[in-house]
């Protein structure tokens, strides 16, 4: 590359490491390498938050884009497979359901499968809704299989967040990015409001054209330096604390995350190959930190491997994820708590959007506006899906759940709930993460049984409907029976060394 081309490179400065920083660096280096000069600066005395240990299926596509070998990545991060999330005690105490990554039944162009299942349910034809979903039934049976060519299952991963950041760091550094370990003492801005340099304690001024804020909740660039506002969602999402600890692995090795509601929030269990990730999410309005830790300790199913960490957060989003010449990726851009494992996904979509709208030269106003509009729409739809888990409940055993049940919710969510409740219709808006199956599984699992459904289902005779439903159910059973056990498959496919 000649010197003229070299001088035209966009100087990208990434502030912060962790999953957000290193995934950003790896992606930009891999896909925009000749066009950018990337420097990542991180402090040696700031640890990664590390609660994003569960993921969702779109990460697989992003990994393929970066040329990541699945088995190698899983060995490096002690990863296991994830087919969905089991929700316990959310709709009511002593109830549970699985929100899986699969498609349920066979849908027609006129109506989704749910409408035919609802008609069958009304006529007394046996069959739980989940029995028609391969991923859900495989999860319940602790079964799993994939191959390098294809997979019968739609899946994601449970992973060690610290090891994942280290894996991405190696990938990025090997791609030629500059890595600086130093503290940022100041963010220097021009009169226009643009950032022109970071003042590093040991290395002095680090100048750039585009700055990416991956400093987590601190939001050192987008928040502290540029004073970009933050829209607080704590009037909908009351939880503002999380406790996290690693414990010894408690068999069996489940191919799904467990989320269990408690009196003032919920807790998670995420199985890795050699340990269990545990978390306890709660509202400080209803539980003191001391009460929360005592309750958390009582719920642990195996011995702790470290001391419990407490994380404080505020759910919401930045008014602008891209302000001036600074783009916030990850927690600095917003947070909607880890209930549906969307934290790493939002990092990935933020990076993808930035690469598609990358500001090479000239006025970036329109690029910035489009980026912010897409980011806002995406996180608000995810927000609504998370609120759904709290609001649609029959629980009245604590003040927390009473408040969740009675609270005013966004109009966008209220309309979706009523449409499903009255007519059985769930839908996926353009560009929306969660599919029809996701909305249906959660609303049904939380206790909504629609009062009416599409009349197309009523056109089938009971004999036809019964035969079709039984055939679908038996096909799923046969396919699940042929799958190997999850633990055995992980051991054969991607076993990692215990440290």
Q: Does domain 3-53+160-228+316-380 bear CATH number 3.30.70.2190?
A: no
pLDDT at 46: 65
End-to-end CA distance of the chain, in Å? 43
| Residue with the larger pLDDT of the pair 8 and 137 | 137
| pLDDT surpasses 50 at 493 | yes
pLDDT at 47: 62
pLDDT at 1: 36
Catalytic residue among 30, 31, 82, 402: 82
| pLDDT surpasses 70 at 5 | no
Those residues with Cβ within 8 angstroms of residue 358's Cβ, 6 or more apart along the chain or in another chain:
10, 32, 35, 367
pLDDT (mean) for 444-471? 96
pLDDT at 266: 98
pLDDT (mean) for 92-105? 96
Between CA 360 and CA 148 the distance in angstroms is 36
Sketch the domain layout of the chain as residue ranges: 3-53+160-228+316-380, 241-312
Q: Residues 384, 387, 388, CA angle at the centre, nearest 5°?
A: 85
Percent of residues, the chain, with pLDDT higher than 70: 97
Q: What is the pLDDT of residues 280-327, one digit of tens each?
A: 999 999 999 999 999 999 999 999 999 999 999 999 999 999 999 999
82 an active-site residue?
yes
Considering the chain, what is the average pLDDT of its residues?
94
| pLDDT surpasses 90 at 469 | yes
pLDDT (mean) for 3-13? 72
pLDDT at 347: 97
Q: What is the pLDDT of residues 137-183, one digit of tens each?
A: 999 999 999 987 778 999 999 999 999 999 999 999 999 999 999 99
Q: What is the pLDDT of residues 24-36, one digit of tens each?
A: 999 999 999 999 9
SS3 per-residue string spanning 427-454: CCCCCCCCCHHHHHHHHHHCCCCCCCCC
Residue 468: C-alpha distances to residues 130, 280, 444 (Å): 15, 43, 21
How is the beta sheet containing 195-200 ordered, strand by strand? 184-189, 195-200, 204-207
How is the beta sheet containing 316-318 ordered, strand by strand? 230-232, 316-318, 334-335
| pLDDT surpasses 90 at 497 | no
| pLDDT surpasses 50 at 251 | yes
CB burial of 89-118 (b: ≥16 within 10 Å; e: otherwise) equals bbbeeebebbbbbbbbbeeeeebbbbbbbb
| pLDDT surpasses 60 at 7 | no
Q: What is the pLDDT of residues 376-402, one digit of tens each?
A: 999 999 999 999 999 999 999 999 999
Of the listed ranges 2-11, 76-85, 194-203, the least confidently predicted one is 2-11
pLDDT (mean) for 461-487? 97
pLDDT at 4: 42
| Residue with the larger pLDDT of the pair 142 and 431 | 142
**Is the whole-model pTM more than 0.85?**
yes
| pLDDT surpasses 70 at 199 | yes
Determine what percent of the chain falls in helix, strand and coil, rounding each to the nearest 5: 40, 20, 40
Between CA 210 and CA 9 the distance in angstroms is 11
- Under a CB-based contact definition with an 8 Å cutoff, are residues 318 and 230 in contact? yes
The phi and psi torsions of 412 (rounded to 5 degrees) equal: -60, -35
Show the tokens assigned to 171.
Answer: 């990938």
| pLDDT surpasses 80 at 51 | no
Q: Is the peptide bond before 252 cis (omega within 30 degrees of 0)?
A: yes
Q: What is the pLDDT of residues 332-380, one digit of tens each?
A: 999 999 999 999 999 999 999 999 999 988 899 999 999 999 999 999 9
Q: Are strands 178-181 and 36-42 parallel, antiparallel or unpaired?
A: parallel
| pLDDT surpasses 80 at 48 | no
Percent of residues, the chain, with pLDDT higher than 90: 91
Please name which of 389, 158, 165 lies closest in space to residue 278, comparing C-alpha atoms.
158
pLDDT (mean) for 459-473? 96
pLDDT at 50: 53
């Amino acid at each position: 590359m000649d010197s003229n081309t070299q001088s035209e490179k966009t100087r990208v400065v990434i502030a912060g490491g962790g999953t957000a920083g290193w995934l950003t660096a790896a992606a930009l280096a891999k896909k925009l390498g000749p066009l950018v000069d990337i420097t990542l600066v991180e402090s040696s005395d700031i640890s990664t938050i590390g609660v994003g240990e569960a993921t969702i299926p779109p990460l697989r596509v992003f990994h393929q884009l970066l040329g990541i070998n699945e088995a190698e990545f899983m060995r490096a991060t002690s990863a296991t497979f994830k087919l969905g999330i089991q929700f316990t005690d959310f709709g009511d105490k002593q109830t549970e359901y699985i929100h899986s990554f699969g498609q349920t039944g066979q849908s027609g162009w006129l109506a989704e499968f749910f409408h035919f299942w609802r008609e069958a349910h009304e006529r007394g034809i046996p069959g739980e809704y989940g029995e028609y979903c391969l991923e859900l039934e495989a999860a319940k049976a602790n079964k799993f299989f994939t191959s390098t060519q294809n997979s019968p299952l739609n899946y994601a991963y449970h992973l060690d967040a610290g090891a994942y950041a280290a894996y991405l760091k190696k990938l990025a550094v090997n791609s030629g990015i500059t890595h600086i370990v130093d503290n940022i003492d100041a963010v220097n801005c021009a009169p226009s409001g643009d950032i022109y340099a970071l003042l590093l304690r040991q290395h002095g001024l680090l100048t750039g054209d585009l700055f990416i804020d991956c400093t987590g909740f601190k939001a050192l660039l987008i928040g502290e330096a540029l004073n970009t506002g933050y829209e607080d969602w704590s009037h909908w999402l009351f939880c503002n604390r999380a406790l996290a600890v690693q414990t010894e692995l408690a068999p069996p090795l489940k191919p799904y995350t467990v989320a269990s509601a408690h009196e003032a929030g919920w807790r998670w269990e995420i199985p890795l190959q050699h340990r269990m990730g545990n978390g306890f999410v709660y509202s400080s309005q209803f539980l003191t930190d001391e009460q929360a830790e005592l309750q958390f300790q009582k719920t642990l199913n195996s011995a702790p491997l470290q001391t419990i960490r407490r994380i404080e957060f505020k759910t919401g989003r930045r008014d602008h994820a891209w302000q001036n010449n600074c783009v916030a990726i990850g927690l600095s851009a917003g947070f909607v708590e880890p209930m549906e494992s969307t934290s790493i996904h939002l990092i990935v979509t933020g990076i993808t959007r930035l690469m598609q709208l990358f500001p090479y030269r000239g006025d970036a106003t329109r690029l910035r506006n489009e980026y912010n509009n897409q980011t806002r729409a995406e996180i608000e739809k995810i927000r609504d899906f998370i609120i759904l888990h709290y609001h649609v409940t029959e629980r009245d055993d604590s003040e927390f759940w009473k408040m969740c049940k009675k609270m005013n919710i966004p109009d966008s969510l209220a309309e979706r709930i009523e449409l499903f409740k009255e007519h059985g219709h769930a839908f996926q808006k353009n560009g929306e993460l969660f599919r029809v199956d996701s909305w249906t599984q959660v609303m049904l699992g939380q206790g909504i049984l629609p009062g009416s459904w599409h009349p197309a289902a009523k056109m089938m005779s009971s004999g036809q409907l019964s035969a079709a439903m039984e055939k679908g159910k038996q096909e799923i059973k046969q396919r699940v029976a042929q799958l190997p056990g999850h633990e055995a498959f992980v051991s054969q496919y991607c076993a990692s060394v215990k440290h």
